[in-house]
Amino acid sequence: MSATRPAARLHRVSARAPDDVEGLERLVTQGALDPSAIVAILGKTEGNGCVNDFTRGFATRALKDFLLRHIGAAEARDVLMVMSGGTEGALSPHWLVFERIEMAGEPVHDGASAALALGAARTCDLRPEEIGTMAQARIVRDGVLSAMADAGINGPDDVHFVQIKCPLLTSARIAEAAARGEACAASDTLKSMGLSRGASALGVAMALKEIDEDAVTDGAIGKDMSLFSGRASTSAGVELLGHEILVMGMSSAWAGPLAIGHAVMADMIDGQSVAAVFAGLGIPGHARFEALLAKAEAARSGMVRGARHTMNDDSDISATRHARAFVGGVLAGLAGTTELFVSGGAEHQGPDGGGPVAVIARRSGV
């Protein structure tokens, strides 16, 4: 009997609405998608990306129903669902569906033969008073290490991107904690999104040894932006209380044509860093672009390369929404598509005003 290796498959599927799964059903009918092999579904939905963005929950419900039609309830629960609200500007709603399949072939030890590797993990539910604190960061750290083990990735240098869905505070959750005599990190539910994203990102940074754990304190979360991960992408939502973690890296134990590379944008117009990743993966040329995941953030300084921006002063539209639209435009010019997974709110994710970016490509002849 011939040996097999795990291999990742990726489908980028357009979505006409948060509950549109017709494209996924079509792939199943064609035999191109095996629902039982799905590890994670990432989605960009057209809500506001804020606390009351119910397009995330709507999409999650539709995707779970899709899975239940094809696989059992227990298997459906194992699939990670990371919904990111907000498709401002010309960003297009879409799904990124990741499968883990088996391919014939012995594991190899030649780094040039490495392929995209996927690892998944879920954490316990958080108590409201843990959100935005070191307790959350430590829980995420352990979750990332678990996902790395699931992927068979031994070292942090082989990790290129960590996509996380994390919880946020609602008025009801804050009141529940207060009834037990506990205070939450924020009384503003919108602010809690940033603290949760930030604590989660610092958990990634600790797991990947990008920062010294001793440097991270409750007081640093959401404040000391010199502490960050260059490979974390965290998105907060009301639809969960724990974390869903997808680690993406390169491993010679995996097979297949997919490869991933990453960069850290120094600021919102740093397309050069991302272009270098495209070139390193052979796009254009001997590789085909498959997906791009990125974080977007309006610099707290109010400046971009010496010029003033007004995103933080707009009382009508959140700076997070401005940032998604702006960075989405910069990256679409490089990728040649608006189906990009650009997530806003990059607290502790890249330098202030910048953010991590990952590109996945399909190599020919692999």
Q: On the CB side of 289, how many CA atoms lie within 13 Å of its CA?
A: 21
Rounded alpha-carbon distances, angstroms, from residue 3 to 108, 189, 257: 12, 51, 18
Rounded alpha-carbon distances, angstroms, from residue 300 to 66, 137, 139: 41, 23, 28
Whether 344 has a binding-site annotation, put simply, is yes
Catalytic residue among 200, 235, 252, 318: 235
Whether 300 has a binding-site annotation, put simply, is no
Whether 349 has a binding-site annotation, put simply, is yes
User: H or E element: which one contains 59?
Assistant: helix 55-70
Q: What are phi and psi of 129, to 5 degrees?
A: -70, -10
Whether 192 has a binding-site annotation, put simply, is no
Q: What CA–CA distance (Å, rounded) separates 89 from 49?
A: 13
Q: Is the dihedral of CA 253, 361, 237, 59 positive or negative?
A: negative
Whether 5 has a binding-site annotation, put simply, is no
Burial track 191-206 (b if 16+ CB lie within 10 A, e otherwise): bbbbbbbbbbbbbbbb
Please tell me the total number of residues recorded for the chain in this structure: 366
DSSP helix/strand/coil, 106: coil
Whether 249 has a binding-site annotation, put simply, is no
Catalytic residue among 44, 146, 165, 318: 165
Answer yes or no: are the C-beta atoms of 98 and 24 closer than 8 Å: no
Whether 2 has a binding-site annotation, put simply, is no
Whether 84 has a binding-site annotation, put simply, is yes
* Closest listed residue to residue 82, CA positions, set 52, 53, 60: 60
Active site residue 44: no
Whether 85 has a binding-site annotation, put simply, is yes
Whether 346 has a binding-site annotation, put simply, is yes
Task: Give residue 246's Cα distance to chain centre.
Answer: 7
Whether 343 has a binding-site annotation, put simply, is yes
Whether 236 has a binding-site annotation, put simply, is yes
Whether 100 has a binding-site annotation, put simply, is no
Q: What CA–CA distance (Å, rounded) separates 210 from 268?
A: 22
Active site residue 235: yes
Query: Binding site for Mg(2+): what residues are annotated?
Result: 297, 346, 349-351, 354
Active site (catalytic) residues: 165, 235
Query: Binding site for substrate: what residues are annotated?
Result: 56, 84-85, 197, 235-236, 324, 343-344
Query: Binding site: what residues are annotated?
Result: 56, 84-85, 197, 235-236, 297, 324, 343-344, 346, 349-351, 354
